Amino acid sequence: MSEATGFYAKAPRNAEVAARFVELHPPFVAAAAVAEAHRCLNCFDAPCMGACPTHIDVPRFIKKIATGNLEGSARTILEANILGASCARACPVEVLCEGACVLHREGKRPIEIGRLQRFAMDALDSMQDAGAALPFVPGEDTGRKVALVGAGPASLACAAELRRRGVRAVVFDARPLPGGLNTYGVAEYKLPLLESLREIDRLCALGVEFVLETTVDAVKLAELEREYDAVFLGVGLGAIRKLGLAAEEHESVTNALDFIAGYKSGAIATVAETVAVVGAGNTAIDAAIAAVRLGAREVTMVYRRGPEQMSAFAFEYEHARLEGVRFLWHTPAERAFELGCGLVVLAVGQGTHTEFVAPMRLEMEDGRIVVERATGRTSHAKVYAGGDCVNGGREVVDAVADGKRAGVAMAQALGVGR
């Protein structure tokens, strides 16, 4: 499966979608990035670093931008977070690094860490496009191999740690492209599909192998467990939950994940005049804004409770309001089907996708795989897990942190860690 590389070059490009989903946070020009980098106080044991689940040494990479050492800046980011490029765009920095910035307490704007991180990662892309080598190399081959199920952020981060330690990392995924939600699920105006793939190409260069369009079921999983030294489960969550209503079986009803993956991969380019979105989480917001960007005249979010109970971040809610999305609070889901909308998008939370691991008899809790936090080890000595299937659905960066810890621990367990 060594031909599963060069995803960026081969990926579909859709000019119409690109035009409609102009990025929310435009990149810094160099002079502005340097000026912003100079604003950073260079805190000791910086709170931004502590707030980042992957503990990127933020002041260090920022000061390298200030000195013009962009390659070193990017390397600093990637050492802690191999998906530093997508996290720079997809992270809810308001509640993470930038939320923790000490400048808040002095009545100042926090450092724009997310945009600075993107600046460094973009610079690395340019250097690599110009022929520069990767800022890291795979470890010497140890003869060990690990299978990773699911090609989302958790598995990718785990695979990177394994490759750095000379372990073969083979990633299986049912979809035609790797990246999981990074590729198919993050709003295009935050993280374009192409950028997710460009980043994954770096993992290919590190020697991560991909086996795509391959569904891992119980039988396949048992085979992987036999043939590989260890298995990492980064399978994410399952499909969006159904409401159990007759109306939702209609062709004018879809779910947020399929809707978002559809427009990102180019399968969907238009949308009905009127759209109702059921739910009020971050994914529901992404779907509602996507409907607006795709040309819907009226987009309504229907939520059975009030704004206080909404699980979306406050800034996501604000963004949706600015895009013109209408909110119907304290409204039962059934009402969404009575609005006469051309499309109803369900976004009422995802179920789990762990039935196929049942024969392994892993310790589970509410459909989630139970792991030891510091290592990602499940109750099965050969099996590790991380990401949404463990944490119940958090951010890309949480999945990366899970995968990273698991990768380090697996290598150690295989006797090749450092």
Number of H helices, E strands in the chain: 18, 12
Task: Find the part of the chain contacting another protein (CB under 8 A) among 35-43, 133-141, 170-178, 214-222.
Answer: 35-43
Binding track, positions 310-349, relative to another protein; x by CB under 8 A: -x--------------------------------------
Identify the sign of the CA torsion 351, 357, 209, 118.
Answer: positive
Q: Scanning residues 80 to 99, which ones bind another protein (CB under 8 A)? A: 91-92, 95-96, 99
Is residue 230 a contact point for another protein (CB under 8 A)? no
Nearest approach, Cβ of residue 39 and another protein (Å):
8
- Pick one of 20, 27, 34, 127: the residue that binds another protein (CB under 8 A): 34
Q: Scanning residues 52 to 71, which ones bind another protein (CB under 8 A)? A: 52-53, 55, 66
- Pick one of 102, 174, 211, 364: the residue that binds another protein (CB under 8 A): 102
Enter the tokens of residue 112.
């724009």
Nearest approach, Cβ of residue 283 and another protein (Å):
13
Taking alpha carbons only, the member of 191, 182, 189 closest to residue 322 is 189
Enter the tokens of residue 369.
């795989």
Which residues are within 8 A (CB) of 32 and not within 5 positions of it... i.e. 6 or more apart? none
Nearest approach, Cβ of residue 179 and another protein (Å):
19
- Pick one of 6, 10, 12, 42: the residue that binds another protein (CB under 8 A): 42
Provide the 3-class DSSP secondary structure of residue 386: coil
Nearest approach, Cβ of residue 63 and another protein (Å):
10
Enter the tokens of residue 187.
């709003």
- Pick one of 103, 247, 268, 339: the residue that binds another protein (CB under 8 A): 103
Amino acid at site 51: A
- CA–CA separation, 38 and 41 (whole Å): 8
Q: Scanning residues 365 to 384, which ones bind another protein (CB under 8 A)? A: 373-374
Amino acid at site 320: A
In the block, tokens 């260079």 appear at 42
- Pick one of 211, 339, 394, 413: the residue that binds another protein (CB under 8 A): 394
Taking alpha carbons only, the member of 275, 304, 303 closest to residue 290 is 275
User: Which CB atom, from 39 or from 145, has the smaller least distance to another protein?
Assistant: 39
Task: Find the part of the chain contacting another protein (CB under 8 A) among 18-26, 31-39, 180-188, 239-247.
Answer: 31-39
Taking alpha carbons only, the member of 254, 253, 325 closest to residue 289 is 325
Binding footprint of another protein, residue count (CB under 8 A): 41
Nearest approach, Cβ of residue 105 and another protein (Å):
4
DSSP state of 127: H
User: Which CB atom, from 207 or from 393, has the smaller least distance to another protein?
Assistant: 393
Longest Cα–Cα distance of the chain, Å, equals 62
Taking alpha carbons only, the member of 376, 370, 369 closest to residue 405 is 376
User: Beta partners for 302?
Assistant: 278, 328
Backbone angles phi, psi at 232, to 5 degrees: -110, 130
Binding track, positions 399-418, relative to another protein; x by CB under 8 A: --x---x-------------
Strand intervals (E) in 97-219: 145-149, 168-172, 209-211
User: Which CB atom, from 41 or from 174, has the smaller least distance to another protein?
Assistant: 41
Residues that bind another protein (CB under 8 A): 34-35, 37-39, 41-47, 49-53, 55, 66, 91-92, 95-96, 99, 102-106, 309, 311, 373-374, 391-392, 394-395, 397-398, 401, 405
